[in-house]
Amino acid sequence: MRDLEVLYRQVIMEHYKNPRNKGLLNDSTYKTIHIKNPTCGDDITIQSKIEDGIVKDVRHDGTGCSICCSSASVMSETLIGKTKTDAKNITETYLNMLTNKEFDESVELEEAVVYRGVNKFPARIKCASIAWKAFEGTLEESE
């Protein structure tokens, strides 16, 4: 249970209880992607606003477990203000880290790095990746 405790005690609970940038906007300058994990019921919508190559805003809403919901919040804080290229790079690095693939350790993941602990719980990798996958989708839409 040590691993689980470490995981929850870090950023996850803080963001789960006090999510940042939560709530969607009815604004056509945002790209919106909705992803569901039908087996567990996680249901997340991510919005991003890209302007002049900069991630101006990231919004999220939905229901899910603590890992899923907190990771959306952490992601929004990590990515807002980054260039689109950096955001893309961070997202890719994060997803590779989660799935135990090779990843570029020099990329600064900021708070999102705590989700590295999720790879000890393979059944939960999906929970930690769904928000980021949705963000990736919004980037593709904005291209």
Partner 1 sequence: MDAYLLKKDFPVLDDKTLVYLDTAASSLKPKQVIKKLDEYYEKYSVNVHRGVYSLSYVATQLYEESRRKVSEFINADFDEIIFTRGASSALNLVATSYGLNNLTSEDEIIVSELEHHSQVLPWQNVSNITKAKLIYVPLNKEGRITVENFKKVLNKKTKVVALNYVSNVMGYVSPIKEIIRLSHEVGAVVSVDAAQAAPHMRIDVKDLDCDFLAFSGHKMLGPTGIGVMFGKKELLKDMPPIEFGGDMNDNVNLYDASWKDSPYKFETGTPPIAGAIGLGAAIDYLNNLGFENISTHEKKLKDYAVEKLLKIEDIIVYNKTSETGIITFNIAGVHPHDAVTFFDGDNICMRAGHHCAQLIIKWLEVVATLRVSFYLYNTIEDCDKFIESVKNARDFFKSVGF
Interface residue list for partner 1 (CB under 8 A): 1, 4-5, 8-9, 13, 17, 38-42, 63-68, 121, 123-124, 127
Please report where in the chains the tokens 């990329």 appear, as a residue. 107
C-beta of 24 vs 125, nearer to partner 1: 125
C-beta of 13 vs 25, nearer to partner 1: 13
Helix or strand or coil: residue 96? helix
Name the minimum Å distance from CB 127 to partner 1: 6
CB 141: neighbour CB atoms within 10 A?
13
Name the minimum Å distance from CB 83 to partner 1: 34
Cβ-proximal residues to 117 (8 Å cutoff; 6+ apart), any chain: 3, 6, 7, 10
> What gap in Å lies between CA 72 and CA 58, rounded to an integer?
9
Name the minimum Å distance from CB 37 to partner 1: 9
